[in-house]
């Protein structure tokens, strides 16, 4: 029996837009007062570009768990889905359909 691939096609998607969408729906995972401060942080596109330029794997971004490699044309959603109330595939589909309202633009 062949194993079903869970990889999501992200070819042609702007990686900064994708990171922002994943970040917006990840929600802060830091408890207490510090978590509240991270919840008020605005997405920084310049810092995101610099970070992705250095390394395409994003563990945490601005206090929220992403745990996803955004390099290449395929994305493995497993770790993101473990740490989020929203499914990575749904977010990627919304980005592809231009249904995300980006707070930083």
pTM of the model: 0.82
Give pLDDT tens digits for 22-54.
998 886 555 554 444 555 678 899 999 999 999
Please report which confidence band the pLDDT of residue 2 belongs to, taking 50, 70 and 90 as the band edges: very low
Give pLDDT tens digits for 75-96.
999 999 988 888 999 999 999 9
- Encode 26-74 in three state secondary structure: HCCCCCHHHHHHHHCCCCCHHHHHHHHHHCCEEEEECCEEEEEECCCCE
pLDDT at 62 (0 to 100)? 86
């Amino acid at each position: 029996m062949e194993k079903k691939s869970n990889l999501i096609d992200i070819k042609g998607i702007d990686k900064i837009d994708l990171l922002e969408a994943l970040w917006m729906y990840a929600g802060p995972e830091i408890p207490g007062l510090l978590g509240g401060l991270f919840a008020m942080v605005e997405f920084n596109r310049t810092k995101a570009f610099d970070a992705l330029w250095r390394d395409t794997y994003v563990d945490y971004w601005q206090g929220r768990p992403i745990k996803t490699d955004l390099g290449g044309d395929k994305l493995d959603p497993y770790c993101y889905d473990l740490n989020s109330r929203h499914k990575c595939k749904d977010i990627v589909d919304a980005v592809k359909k231009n249904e995300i309202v980006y707070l930083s633009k």
